[in-house]
A = this chain, B = another copy of it.
Amino acid sequence: MTGDDDSVPDMSGVTVVNVLRAVADPIRLRIVQTLADGEQHAKCGTHWDFGVHKSTMTHHFRILRLAGLTRTTVTGRTHTIALRRDELNVRFPGLIDALIEDNDR
């Protein structure tokens, strides 16, 4: 996988260490927590107002996708992102729930 498109890894090849690396970042963890509502979110949405440059957000989105956490859907010119929550729950039971429940906020 080049990572240059919107391809995602098969969940069977996703490791917990790679998932942990991906979410072990304050912004990426907040992205995952936002996506935990189960909805498709536009990549350019105002709810990503994390105080970082758009290119930084693109970088974070890419890391999450390549780690197996998210999936991008392209509809016309709109790119939306969603958490692969059902697949993640099967592969790593309880992990996403635990990440969402964190009480640091």
Contacts and interface: CB of A to CB of B under 8 A. Distances in A.
A21 interface: yes
A93 B95 CA distance: 10
Instruction: In the A-B complex, list the 4 residue pairs whose CB atoms are closest, starting with the nearest.
Output: A20-B24, A94-B98, A95-B98, A16-B102
A21 to B, nearest CB: 4
A94 B94 contact: yes
Nearest to A95: B98
A16 B104 CA distance: 7
Contact of A16 (B15, B91, B94, B99): B99
A80 to B, nearest CB: 26
Nearest to A100: B94
A102 to B, nearest CB: 4
A103 B95 CA distance: 12
A86 interface: no
Interface string A1-34: 0000000000000011100110111100100000
